[in-house]
Amino acid sequence: MAISGGYQNIQFEDCGPVMQPKILEACKLLSLTYIPPMIPTQGVVVKAPRWDRILLHFDAPPPSEAVISAFRKTSALVVHRLFTASERALRQAGIQPLVERNGVIIFQRSVDHPFYHSDQMLNFARYGKGRRSLLNAEDLTAAIRKSGFNAHLIDFGVISLAEQIVASYHAGAIIGIRGAEFANTIWMRPNTQAIMFGPPGFENNATRILAKSAKVLFSIIKVAKAHVVLQKDEMERVNYILRKRVNA
């Protein structure tokens, strides 16, 4: 709305200490004025809800094709402009993309943010590596490379938003255990692949819906634990999915 309507000032609902700095980066890339959450505002200010609100469906039926189509249509402009701005920012800074065209990204989960160890978050199931992780992500990366794919193990928590966007756009596939990194599916090209390892518990369906909106292929491989050591057959399953996409 801020972009299509020509508005300058934008205030997002609080998305937490990890996501909020990324929203600030996005506003800077788009030359929008970022107003921190819960700050009293004056004049014309666009109020934006949490970025993932429309995507979370725990027990409810999945959104209809019409809702997904509307989400795709309304997000297309900001996705295009953020990618263009990100590519330009990296080029001006002399930073090369982290992934070549159709490379494979394996998500290295970030360390916990101190906020999620504070007293007010005692009942929250941590964040990043503290919540879920692939304990042998390096072995998975090596197995994918052995199959002939250019695989890169990347911690998206330590790179800029512009680098995340451009890397995800170039990627032919993203792979990891369920987590916030899969929000980067929105930057991917149609007919690329997202592969998620799903530990026990309710799937919130956010990535599944986001992938459908972006026309990205989505596969989920069930695993027994939130902190898992992948076995040979699970790694072979990943390579099978990757080869199937390439040969389609």
Quick one: pLDDT at residue 171?
98
Residue 165 is classified by DSSP as: H
> Tens-of-pLDDT digits for all 248 residues of the chain?
556 666 667 777 777 777 888 888 988 998 888 878 777 777 667 777 766 666 666 556 677 888 888 888 888 888 999 999 999 999 999 999 999 999 999 999 987 756 555 555 555 555 668 789 999 999 999 999 999 999 999 999 999 999 999 999 999 999 999 998 999 999 999 999 999 999 998 777 888 889 999 999 999 999 999 999 999 999 999 999 999 988 87
Quick one: pLDDT at residue 56?
62
Quick one: pLDDT at residue 74?
81
pLDDT in tens, 170-193: 999 999 999 989 999 999 999 999
Task: Tell which residue, 241, 79, 100, 240, has the closest CA to residue 161.
Answer: 79
Quick one: pLDDT at residue 235?
97
Instruction: Reduce the DSSP state of residue 238 to 3 states and report it.
Output: helix
Quick one: pLDDT at residue 83?
97
Quick one: pLDDT at residue 94?
98
Convert 79-145 into a string of H (helix), E (strand) and C (coil): HHHHHHHHHHHHHHHCCCCCCCCCCEEEECCCCCCHHHHCHHHCCCCCCHHHCCEECCHHHHHHHHH
Structural domains of the chain, with CATH: 1-51 (no CATH), 104-247 (3.40.50.360)
Round to whole Å and give the CA distance between 194 and 174: 5
Residue 208 is classified by DSSP as: H
Quick one: pLDDT at residue 27?
87
In sequence order, the β-bridge partners of residue 47 are 11
Work out the number of other CB atoms within 10 angstroms of the CB of residue 63: 18
Round to whole Å and give the CA distance between 56 and 37: 21
pTM (predicted TM-score): 0.86
